[in-house]
Structure 1
Amino acid sequence: MSQLEKLTELIGKGVSWCTLFIVLMTLAVVVLRYLFNTGATALQESALYLHGAVFTLAAGYTLKHDGHVRVDIFYRHFSSRNRHWVDFLGTLFLLFPVSLFIAYSCFDYVLASWKYAETSVEAGGLAYVYLQKSLLLLLVVSLLLQGAVELTKHGLALLHRDGPSLYKSEDDSNSGAEQ
């Protein structure tokens, strides 16, 4: 496993713990509101920020584990080599351009937020909105790093016809569907 894959794995597993904290914070907000008739804006925003962090920071981890949504009407019937081609070309011509477009589109947005040290508009809200917005750029970084790993893996698989496949054999993948 490459160092980039280890980093992606570490970030993904670390971020997964945020979901527990989101549940606990949401529970605390509900208890405070309905049992003690007290608002907790900072706590509520913290849960919201963590929710954003889970989705943005775990994108590379999800890509590594092939967990993104895929319309596989044809893909699941492709040979291993054709799957490598689809994944290689999809990474090169879809993932990279879309990630770079996201970076280009949000860079000024994030920069402006940092320039003004943007804070919450809510009374009692968090003072670090600019950190939350910076997650957009970290999303791009995580996707590009893991995308480079995926591009390399699929490229090597295409170059070495006799090498091990990254995919289950067609018999393994179809046997579960037919049972």
Structure 2
Amino acid sequence: MVAYLIFFLLNNYLIYFQGWPGPINFIKHHEWFGFLPLRKPLSEDIINLGLIQFLGLFFILLLSIIWATITKDRSIRDDAKLWSDFSAYIIRAAFWAVFFIGIVDAVISFLRVEDLLSLTVGENMASQLGKSSFRGTYVLYPMFIVGGFIAYRSRNIDFIWLALLVVVAEFIIVITRFIFSYEQAFMGDLVRFWYAALFLFASSYALVTEGHVRVDVLYASFSKKAKSITNVVGCLLLGIPLCWTILLTGMWNRGSSLNGPIISFETYQQGYGMYVKYIMVSFMIIFALSMLVQFVSYALDNIANLRGEEGDTYKNEDMVDSETIPNIQTIG
């Protein structure tokens, strides 16, 4: 499941950013499995790329079988911990990335609106930084690499600091507007950017700590076994399909709701705001990715409960000390 998810995202990048044909177009080109031929056949120079993507479907399956074979003595709860740790890493990396992106892009936007950017970096670079594609490719996207490195070194997710930054950014708007009569579009953009990240990235964090508000009618009275069955069914029939629906509908073609803004480096209409609208769209991808991985982990952990494996419902220690977080539930 997770392997094919990563393969899907990798293929999406190769198809729409690197010009690879994709496994489906490769199949259509050869008219396999009853598919109708493409209106425009694939050129010879990219057929081999399509073959690599097509074979990747079977390679992922083979890799999964090999992994299952060599880890057959591994407990299901250990697998649950592995995927929960992976979900935690995704969120940590995204957290640090949006922190740096917000700071860097806000500074660039401030310098542009005050006509200081050309004095700082030169006329040519200032002109390039005014293009969302250049700024995104060479300035903002590398922040995800920085975030990934810091996330690898750091084991904590400090959502409280991101929440504080949202408050500070909003407080600065209030002070500058009502005391100094100064306000620019990028200031509001920064608040929305960080708040959207806080809301979406915290979802898998809240799932693993059982911090989501839950309206319980029957669940609270269930036995531990019944709760585990309910959680497994909920993950398999509701949680995981929801995440796949977000990804498939949003990334199926070039003009889909998620692919379109990212490919075109879409920005807000005002010219001197932050150039992060397309990055905010990518928050939905990060949300679906982290939640799907966490749902897999949650399902595996509850299966471990049903099998009678030692331990209790796993709380990811890399994310939070579960003893310090209250369980937020509304029992109906």
Tell me, yes or no, whether TM beats 0.5: yes
Query: What corresponds to 1:83 in structure 2?
Result: 227
> Does residue 84 of structure 2 align to residue 5 of structure 1?
yes
Indicate whether 1:22 and 2:166 are aligned: yes
**What is aligned with 2:278?**
130
3-state SS of 1:24 partner = helix
d(CA) in 1 for partners of 2:86, 2:162: 17
Q: 1:86 Cα shift?
A: 0.7
Partner of 2:207: 63
Give the letter for the 1:166 counterpart: T
| Mapped contact 1:80–1:165 kept (Cα < 8 A) | no
Structure 1: runs of 5 or more not aligned: 168-179
Distance (Å, rounded) in 1 between the aligned partners of 2:265 and 2:311: 50
Root-mean-square deviation over aligned CA pairs: 2.0
1:137-179, CA deviations, whole angstroms, 9 ceiling, x for partnerless residues? Answer: 100001011111101100111122x744439xxxxxxxxxxxx
SS at match of 2:216: coil
Q: Describe the SS at the equivalent of 2:258.
A: helix
Mapping for residues 1-179 of structure 1, pairs under 5 Å: 2-9=81-88, 11=91, 13-107=157-251, 108-160=256-308, 163-166=310-313
Using the aligned pairs only, state the percent identity: 22
CA contact (8 A) 1:32 1:40 kept: no
Cα separation, 1, equivalents of 2:275 and 2:312: 49
> What is the CA–CA distance in structure 1 between the aligned matches of 2:300 and 2:236, rounded to whole Å?
11
- Could you tell me which runs of 5 or more consecutive residues in structure 2 were left unpaired when the two chains were aligned: 1-77, 93-156, 315-332
Q: 1:17 to 1:83 in 2, by over 3 A?
A: same
Name which one, 1 or 2, has greater alpha-carbon Rg: 2
Contact map agreement 2:87 2:291 (CA 8 A) in 1: no
Bigger CA drift: 123-132 or 56-65? 123-132
Stretch moving more, 96-105 or 148-157 = 96-105
Tell me how many residue pairs correspond in the alignment.
Answer: 166
